């Protein structure tokens, strides 16, 4: 580590005033801050990479507040990133630059720390920036330290602030609810304030996501245009805010939601905010997505470089009706179709209170011997017999009021002081207080006991089906009750770190009433997330589309399920369900014994073909082509491998009308100078497409595209109103 005295120095008379240009570079982007002694650091530039000449001749921003981390108290009308109530009650803070550290990382990665001090109070703030060079990501966070003799109170503590020049700036964000997660919302940023926040307490990505994109030159385009992406890497309550006043800038703030979460920072304690990852691209929304996917796979996601197994999950197949024979049958069926893993979902546990429905036994992680007389040992034996791996469902942060755990430890639940606990799912569900070290030990032991006793377990589905409904910790002091939301997620992270330290090779899925934990805060400890409890293929196109803005396909669990669908009761063709699920991490959520032999044959073929394209889908670059939200009757995207030698093109109809008119889809991301041979996957048509086996140049495919038949054409009795295509493009 070296302390930078200055890059550009300005000596004024005999004073010690200094100025420095802090330049944060990635392969294709540059961020510049001016840092002058005793003053707030100022943002000067964020965008495409600048040359040394341009850096020396940068025009300074005008008509805006460019403070890197504005503090509350001396310009009260302006929005602040940090607000402190000092030990003596003073609510004003002034933060000026002291010095800058540069820390070399691996390869070309660099970290910069701008040290800020208050001239009156011994409170310091480090503004931290890490340049992730090859992936064009800049991570930023703050570290706030109290040097006062008594605690100070943090009432606002954003991770970052970023001014964005006004113009025709559009915001993309991802709203929804249970069964309808990650819906894309695109809107211009207008005067006033736009706030996106979550107050669930335990999960944070149902109602909206902690990730946004800013399209700087009009409504976002997928593969052209200037775009900034921002992702808050946090698992708890968050707040994203865009303030637009009478200046020339929008002001973006992101961080932990401060509502009812004021934090009492003790003497000598440092409060580190969660990081925000930024990326800029001139290649549109998909360009930013590709940066986040590469960064996520390399630096954030557990086992981001390892192919995911094709699995069958038992939930929609049998729900709570778990038994030894049924599990053996499902294992045999998925193995016969080429699957690699079977996951037994909810309903396998409970002794005094057997888990037959959702109203009991959470926390009692012992096998129900009535359902499974041969226990987990028998299931592992059967999985080995069928040549597949075995996984299991748990919900370790939760309990029921009807459980042996609650009988023994009623003091472990989250509950408002002097009030009855609010109960959730089944009328009995309660949430354990992860701020309590004893609860952390217990949650760790749930995994540890399973893995110690059954080390052959390959996969854990970790669920979380309840929000923090009533505010109160039986562990925290009454003075620190406002720490609950923050300490819950600190406890969760500590527990996950312990699990990963002991079981680094275990595959773990983050499920939270479906897609409640699709965030970069938990994914360093999880391999994937369950996108939604809604497995309907048509609605999944929309949800998976929005999710793909920030999360790679390898992290997105996409399952083939039964029809009528168990959530929306829509009936879709098996091929359509297959073609949608193959665009993510392929799996199945169905009872195979209820499938026809023809459906099994289709799935067997699809699994075999998915294994061929798995590296392209799970590690390739995404190019979104036609959005389902544009209501053109079709949605399309593709993945291209790093060498641009192989690609998979997905095309799904989203509506079906007679004499309809659909756009021809131009492809993207290919090598214009390479020739690609076309092969259709999952074909059910009596005749192959007219492009089957033919070769086209990358230039032709990107400038012109291929005509897709509007309907699949199997034999007459098997026709349906659902049409989709998956094409493998192989460079010759």
Q: Is 463 annotated as a binding residue?
A: yes
Residues marked as catalytic: 463, 533
Q: Is 199 annotated as a binding residue?
A: no
C-alpha 595, offset from chain centre = 33
| Cis status, amide bond into 456, omega within 30 of 0 | no
Please tell me the distance from the alpha carbon of residue 579 to that of residue 587, in angstroms, as a whole number: 12
**How big is the CA angle at 204 (ends 68 and 511), to the nearest 5 degrees?**
135
Please tell me the distance from the alpha carbon of residue 452 to that of residue 287, in angstroms, as a whole number: 44
Residues contacting residue 695 through CB under 8 Å, at least 6 positions apart = 675, 676, 677, 678, 732
Q: Is 305 annotated as a binding residue?
A: no
Q: Is 533 annotated as a binding residue?
A: yes
List the one residue out of 558, 569, 567 whose CA is nearest residue 313: 558
Q: Is 641 annotated as a binding residue?
A: no
Please tell me the distance from the alpha carbon of residue 309 to that of residue 585, in angstroms, as a whole number: 8
Please tell me the distance from the alpha carbon of residue 592 to that of residue 597, in angstroms, as a whole number: 10
Q: At what angle do helices 597-619 and 574-581 cross, to 10 degrees?
A: 20
List the one residue out of 240, 243, 230 whose CA is nearest residue 208: 240
Residues contacting residue 689 through CB under 8 Å, at least 6 positions apart = 678, 680, 709, 725
Q: Is 630 annotated as a binding residue?
A: no
Q: Is 113 annotated as a binding residue?
A: no
C-alpha 321, offset from chain centre = 32
What is the chain's length?
732
Contact between residue 71 and residue 81 where contact means Cβ atoms under 8 Å apart? yes
Q: Is 346 annotated as a binding residue?
A: yes
Q: Is 328 annotated as a binding residue?
A: no
CB-based burial of residue 732 (10 Å sphere; 0-12 exposed, 13-18 middle, 19+ buried)?
exposed
Q: Alpha-carbon Rg of the chain, whole angstroms? A: 27
Residues contacting residue 306 through CB under 8 Å, at least 6 positions apart = none
Torsion of CA 649, 653, 658, 660, to 10 degrees: -70
Q: Is 722 annotated as a binding residue?
A: no
Please tell me the distance from the alpha carbon of residue 14 to that of residue 11, in angstroms, as a whole number: 7
User: Bridge-partner residues for 539, per DSSP?
Assistant: none
CA distances 622 to 406, 530, 583, 641, 731, Å, are 47, 20, 10, 9, 18
Q: Is 178 annotated as a binding residue?
A: yes
- The annotated binding site is made up of 178, 345-346, 425, 461-465, 511, 533
- The annotated binding site for substrate is made up of 178, 345-346, 425, 461-465, 511, 533
């Amino acid at each position: 580590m070296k302390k930078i005295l200055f890059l550009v120095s300005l000596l004024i008379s005999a004073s010690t005033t200094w100025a420095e240009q802090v330049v944060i570079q990635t392969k294709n982007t540059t961020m510049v801050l001016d840092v002058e002694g005793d003053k707030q650091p100022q943002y000067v530039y964020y965008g495409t990479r600048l040359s040394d000449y341009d850096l020396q001749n940068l025009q300074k921003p005008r008509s805006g507040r460019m403070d890197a981390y504005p503090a509350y108290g001396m310009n009260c009308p302006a929005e602040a990133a940090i607000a402190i109530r000092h030990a003596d009650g003073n609510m004003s803070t002034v933060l000026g630059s002291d010095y800058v550290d540069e820390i070399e990382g691996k390869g070309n990665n660099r970290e910069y720390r701008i040290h800020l001090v208050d001239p009156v109070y011994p409170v310091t703030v480090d503004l931290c920036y890490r340049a992730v060079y090859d992936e064009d990501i800049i991570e930023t966070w703050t570290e706030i330290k109290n040097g006062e003799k008594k605690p100070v109170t943090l009432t606002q503590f954003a991770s970052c602030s970023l001014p964005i020049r006004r113009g025709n700036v559009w915001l993309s964000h991802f709203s929804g609810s249970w069964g309808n997660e990650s819906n894309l919302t695109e809107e211009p940023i207008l005067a006033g304030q736009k706030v996106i926040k979550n107050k669930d307490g335990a999960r944070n990505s149902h109602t909206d996501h902690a990730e946004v994109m800013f399209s700087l030159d009009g409504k976002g385009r997928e593969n052209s245009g200037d775009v900034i992406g921002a992702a808050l890497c946090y698992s708890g309550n968050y707040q994203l805010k865009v303030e637009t006043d009478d200046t020339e800038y929008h002001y973006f703030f992101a961080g932990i939601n401060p509502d009812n979460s004021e934090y009492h920072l003790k003497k000598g304690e440092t409060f580190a905010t969660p990081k925000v990852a930024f990326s800029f691209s001139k290649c549109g929304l998909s360009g930013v997505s590709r940066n986040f996917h590469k960064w996520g796979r390399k630096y954030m996601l557990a086992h981001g470089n390892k192919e995911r197994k094709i699995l069958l999950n038992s939930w929609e197949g049998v729900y709570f009706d778990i038994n030894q024979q049924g599990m053996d049958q499902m294992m045999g069926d998925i193995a016969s179709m080429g699957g690699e893993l079977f996951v037994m979902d909810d309903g396998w546990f409970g002794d005094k209170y057997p888990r037959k429905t959702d109203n009991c036994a959470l926390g009692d992680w012992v096998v129900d011997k009535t359902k499974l007389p041969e226990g987990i040992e028998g299931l592992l034996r059967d999985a080995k017999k069928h040549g597949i791996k075995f996984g299991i469902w748990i919900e370790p942060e939760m309990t029921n009021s009807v459980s042996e755990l609650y009988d023994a430890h009623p003091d472990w639940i989250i509950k408002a002081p002097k009030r009855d606990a609010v109960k959730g799912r089944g009328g009995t569900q309660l949430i354990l207080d992860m701020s309590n070290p004893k609860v952390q030990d217990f949650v760790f032991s749930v995994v540890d006991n399973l893995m110690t006793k059954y080390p052959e377990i390959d996969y854990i589905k970790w669920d979380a089906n309840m929000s923090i409904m009533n505010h109160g910790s039986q562990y925290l002091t009454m003075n620190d009750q406002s720490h609950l939301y923050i300490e819950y997620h600190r406890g969760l992270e500590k527990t996950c770190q312990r699990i990963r330290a002991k079981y680094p090779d275990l595959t773990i899925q983050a499920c939270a009433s479906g897609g409640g934990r699709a965030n970069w805060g938990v994914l360093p400890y999880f391999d994937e997330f369950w996108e939604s409890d809604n497995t309907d293929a048509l609605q999944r196109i929309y949800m998976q589309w929005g999710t793909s803005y920030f999360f790679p396909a390898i992290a997105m669990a996409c399952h083939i399920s039964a029809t009528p669908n168990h959530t929306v009761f829509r009936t879709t063709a098996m091929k359509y369900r297959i073609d949608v699920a193959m665009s993510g991490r392929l799996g199945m959520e169905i009872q195979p014994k209820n499938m026809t032999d023809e459906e099994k044959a289709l799935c067997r073929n699809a699994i075999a073909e998915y294994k061929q394209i798995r590296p392209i889908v799970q590690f390739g670059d995404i190019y979104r082509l036609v959005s389902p939200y544009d209501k053109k009757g079709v949605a399309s995207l593709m993945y291209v491998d790093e060498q641009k030698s192989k690609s998979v093109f997905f095309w799904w109809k989203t509506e079906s009308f007679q004499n309809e008119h659909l756009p021809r889809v131009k492809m993207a991301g290919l090598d214009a100078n390479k020739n690609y041979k076309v092969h259709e996957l999952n074909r059910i048509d009596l005749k192959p497409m007219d492009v089957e086996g033919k070769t086209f140049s990358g230039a032709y495919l990107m400038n012109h595209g291929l005509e897709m038949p509007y309907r699949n054409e199997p034999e007459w009795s098997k026709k349906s109103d659902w049409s989709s295509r998956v094409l493998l493009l192989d460079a010759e």
